[in-house]
Amino acid sequence: MDFEKQYTVDPAHIDVQGIMDGLYYPFYMESCRHDFIREVLGFDLEEQAHQGVFMVLSQYTIKYLRSLKKDDAFSVTCTLYADKSGGPRLHFKQNIVMNGKVMTTAVFTGTCVPAAGGRPYLPDAIKALVADAPQLEVETLK
């Protein structure tokens, strides 16, 4: 389940060094991931929140390889992975790519929790999609 969206660096995200501030890379990845979750997984975050289901991040790792600059056009990819241990977790491997070169790579891990509190779980519709996803290997940031 590969997914890709196109973006252009917002000039407001450029720091004093003339490169995109590191805080904004995860924001572009979040935008792509949320579109993936809605468009591919069929899970509308806002609608589900109103129904008492929160999809939340539990962790992420990110590796910066190259810097983006003002007005750079780039793509963000998103690929779903199942949890190797079978736990109620979703893993999203994401890359920021420009001109065929990976600029940044990351893995975001999430789950669902009841809005009223309780243990992490995956809704049945999500479980079915994750069942066909490849399992996340230990070393993912290559």
Q: Which domain covers residue 49, as residue numbers?
A: 2-131
pLDDT, tens digit (0-9, with 9 covering 90-100), for 33-90: 999 999 999 999 999 999 999 999 999 999 999 999 999 999 999 999 999 999 999 9
Flag whether 142 is in a domain.
Answer: no
The residue among 105 and 140 whose pLDDT is bigger is: 105
What's the pTM value of the predicted model, to 2 decimals? Answer: 0.92
The predicted structure's pLDDT at residue 139: 54
The predicted structure's pLDDT at residue 132: 87
| Torsional class of 117: left (φ above 0), alpha (ψ -120 to 50), beta (otherwise) | left
Flag whether 11 is in a domain.
Answer: yes
CATH for 82? 3.10.129.10
Cα separation, 21 vs 129, whole angstroms: 34
The mean pLDDT value for 95-115 works out to 97
Into how many domains does the chain fold?
Answer: 1
The mean pLDDT value for 109-126 works out to 95
Flag whether 139 is in a domain.
Answer: no
